[in-house]
């Protein structure tokens, strides 16, 4: 069971009430509204109700109910509106939330409310101002394990817009969202939002295609920011007049038509620690990082294979950055402990940016092992994390923090049960992302079979810790057709059907 049903009433839709709004109007604090599969054309106002609203997903953990239980806003307002006293006991889980349209918050609008928004598919919503997917103002919602796709903002925040609050945004996928102005995936303004363990792929914006922080003290950690496109500044991350903490992120293959393919900083003082910034492209300056009028602290970070007309890895227009213990291609940057050596990633062509190590069966040791800041030690010592026994490693898998506890303040919830989600996108061409959840550490194998039952690929094999995981199947060399992804984890196994269309 994904959520523990409360001891109050369970209200069924449509057997008890024909609409979700009618059921909600009749609910009292602590009720659970259980919605059967179907399409519900509604724009739902929660008023001051604190309840659980879920599909059969909350009973079964079957992700198919996310796709078959649909709340459709019919382009006539936000699909879900929170305005007032909702706290984290208000839970929305297990739906497709689509076709909302409003000034702010196409799918969901949160005003001074703190609901938990978990395990939903938030698709094709739009805002004429801010927050194509979700708009948060003076709110502290928990936004977890959702897929945001095809959401559009005519201004800022294609996926999420958060202002003057502390949204916790974790374990979400942001794929192909658009902001006409700033923040294609996520836009944060003011406040103290926490962005952790998210994947941002192919989002688009004029500025800051992946993540944008404006006057915000965000914690941005453990995110994969991949393949986002800005038509001006900041393909991956854009910071303006902000002081975020940016740790353990992989920022690769992002593009900015002007400056800052991977990362653009303007009048900001971020702490940038233990990241990988690589294979980003700028049409002008700063393929990896561009700074103007700012004083960032950059440590234990690898800059590799970025490109631009000027400053392939780092371009500082003005300001006084403190860059130390970093691996920066083609440049020994002024600062303590900087190197310029091939970091020897384990398998970057297939998205594995761990460092090579003889101890882990590789032929060489990466020069980034034990090369980090002396006051930082690796959190873990194993082949899936850091390997530095004296100092921390450079890159997204090394490092720790014995002084600051910002990251450790936010404990990642472990999944309650084994779950194999439908791949996304589906149909796909030529790549698709597979998501799954492990309630405990397990030996995992993921294989691909064709419609004849023949195994055509093994895309992952290894031991993984409990938590939420993703893997990408790159199917360039395979013909169109129906395929099945099979996941084996311990004694459990499941399959999902996938369609490759070329």
Q: What is the CATH number of the domain that holds 442?
A: 2.60.40.1930
Tell which of 382, 413, 444 closes a domain. Answer: 413
Tell which of 413, 442, 474 closes a domain. Answer: 413
Of the listed ranges 19-28, 85-94, 456-465, the one predicted with least confidence: 85-94
Q: What is the mean pLDDT of residues 39-64?
A: 90
pLDDT of residue 262: 97
Q: What is the mean pLDDT of residues 301-329?
A: 95
Using the 8-state DSSP alphabet, how is residue 94 labeled?
A: S
Q: Are residues 444 and 346 in the same domain?
A: no
Going by C-beta distance under 8 Å and a sequence separation of 6 or more, which residues neighbour residue 286? 259, 260, 261, 263, 264, 308, 310, 311, 314, 315
Higher pLDDT, 417 or 369: 369
Judged against a pLDDT cut of 50, whether residue 404 lies above it is answered with no
Q: Are residues 113 and 130 in the same domain?
A: yes
Q: Are residues 135 and 256 in the same domain?
A: no
Q: d(Cα 203, Cα 486) in Å, to the nearest integer?
A: 29
pLDDT of residue 124: 93
Q: Are residues 90 and 119 in the same domain?
A: yes
Q: Are residues 255 and 367 in the same domain?
A: yes
Q: Are residues 288 and 236 in the same domain?
A: yes
Judged against a pLDDT cut of 50, whether residue 412 lies above it is answered with no
C-beta of residue 330 within 8 angstroms of C-beta of residue 310: no
pLDDT band at residue 417 using 50, 70 and 90 as cut-offs: low
Judged against a pLDDT cut of 50, whether residue 6 lies above it is answered with no
Tell me the per-residue pLDDT of 342-382, one tens digit each, with 9 for 90 and over.
999 999 998 899 999 999 999 999 999 999 998 888 877 88
**Strands of 314-316's sheet, edge to edge?**
44-45, 80-83, 108-111, 134-137, 160-163, 186-189, 211-214, 237-240, 263-266, 289-292, 314-316
Tell me the per-residue pLDDT of 280-300, one tens digit each, with 9 for 90 and over.
999 999 999 999 988 899 999
C-beta of residue 387 within 8 angstroms of C-beta of residue 357: yes
pLDDT of residue 212: 96
Two tokens at 190? 């003011």
Range of the domain at 425: 419-500
- In this prediction the pTM is 0.78
Two tokens at 104? 């702010």
Q: What is the mean pLDDT of residues 370-399?
A: 85
Q: Are residues 94 and 140 in the same domain?
A: yes
The count of structural domains within the chain is: 3
Q: For residue 58, what is the enclosing H or E element?
A: helix 57-60
Judged against a pLDDT cut of 90, whether residue 267 lies above it is answered with yes
Judged against a pLDDT cut of 50, whether residue 407 lies above it is answered with no
Q: Are residues 279 and 158 in the same domain?
A: no
Tell which of 371, 390, 413 closes a domain. Answer: 413
pLDDT of residue 3: 44
Provide the mean pLDDT of the chain: 90
pLDDT band at residue 400 using 50, 70 and 90 as cut-offs: low
Judged against a pLDDT cut of 70, whether residue 116 lies above it is answered with yes
Tell me the per-residue pLDDT of 182-238, one tens digit each, with 9 for 90 and over.
999 999 999 889 999 899 999 999 999 999 999 988 999 999 999 999 999 999 999
Q: d(Cα 246, Cα 87) in Å, to the nearest integer?
A: 28
pLDDT of residue 110: 95
Two tokens at 238? 């854009």
Q: Are residues 390 and 472 in the same domain?
A: no
Q: Are residues 188 and 316 in the same domain?
A: no
Judged against a pLDDT cut of 60, whether residue 401 lies above it is answered with no
Q: Are residues 431 and 324 in the same domain?
A: no
Judged against a pLDDT cut of 50, whether residue 439 lies above it is answered with yes
Residue with tokens 């800059």: 303
Q: Are residues 281 and 380 in the same domain?
A: yes
């Amino acid at each position: 069971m994904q959520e523990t049903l409360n001891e109050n009433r369970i209200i069924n839709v449509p057997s008890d009430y024909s609409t979700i709004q009618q059921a909600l109007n009749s609910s009292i604090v602590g009720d659970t509204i259980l919605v059967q599969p179907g399409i519900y054309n509604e724009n739902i106002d929660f008023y001051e109700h604190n309840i659980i609203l879920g599909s059969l997903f909350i009973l079964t953990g079957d992700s198919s109910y996310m796709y078959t239980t649909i709340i459709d806003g019919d382009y006539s307002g936000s699909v879900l509106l929170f305005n007032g006293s909702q706290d984290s006991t208000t839970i929305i889980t297990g739906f497709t939330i689509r076709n909302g349209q409003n000034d702010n918050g196409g799918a969901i609008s949160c005003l001074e409310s703190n609901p938990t928004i978990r395990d939903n598919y938030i698709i094709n919503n739009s805002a004429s101002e801010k927050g194509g997917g979700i708009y948060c103002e003076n709110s502290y919602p928990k936004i977890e394990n959702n897929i945001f796709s095809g959401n559009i903002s005519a201004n800022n925040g294609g996926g999420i817009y958060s202002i003057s609050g502390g949204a916790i945004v974790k374990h979400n996928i942001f794929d192909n969202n658009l902001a006409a102005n700033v923040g294609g995936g996520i836009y944060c303004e003011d406040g103290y939002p926490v962005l952790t363990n998210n994947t941002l792929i192919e989002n688009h914006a004029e500025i800051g295609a992946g993540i944008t922080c404006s006057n915000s003290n965000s914690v941005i950690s453990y995110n994969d920011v991949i393949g986002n496109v800005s038509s001006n500044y900041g393909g991956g991350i854009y910071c303006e007049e902000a002081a975020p903490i940016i740790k353990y992120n992989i920022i690769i293959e992002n593009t900015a038509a002007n400056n800052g393919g991977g990362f653009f900083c303007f009048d900001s003082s971020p702490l940038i620690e233990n990241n990988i910034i690589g294979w980003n492209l700028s049409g002008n300056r700063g393929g990896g990082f561009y700074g103007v009028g700012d004083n960032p602290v950059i440590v234990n970070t690898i800059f590799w294979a970025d490109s631009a007309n000027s400053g392939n890895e780092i371009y500082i227009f003005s300001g006084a950055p403190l860059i130390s213990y970093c691996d920066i291609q083609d440049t020994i940057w002024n600062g303590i402990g900087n190197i310029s050596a091939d970091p020897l990633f384990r398998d970057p062509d297939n998205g594995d940016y761990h460092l090579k190590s003889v101890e882990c069966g590789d032929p060489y040791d990466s020069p980034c092992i034990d090369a980090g800041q002396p006051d930082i030690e690796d959190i873990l010592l194993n082949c899936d994390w850091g390997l530095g026994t004296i100092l921390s490693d450079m890159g997204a898998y090394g490092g720790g923090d014995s002084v600051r506890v910002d990251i450790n303040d936010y404990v990642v919830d472990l999944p309650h049960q084994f779950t194999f989600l439908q791949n996304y996108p589906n149909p796909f061409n030529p790549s698709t992302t597979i998501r799954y959840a492990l309630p405990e550490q397990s030996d995992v194998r993921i294989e691909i079979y064709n419609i004849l039952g023949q195994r055509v690929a093994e895309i992952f094999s290894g031991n993984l810790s409990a938590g939420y995981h993703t893997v990408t199947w790159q199917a360039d060399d395979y013909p169109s057709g129906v395929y099945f992804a099979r996941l084996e984890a311990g004694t459990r196994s499941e399959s999902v059907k996938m369609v490759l269309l070329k």
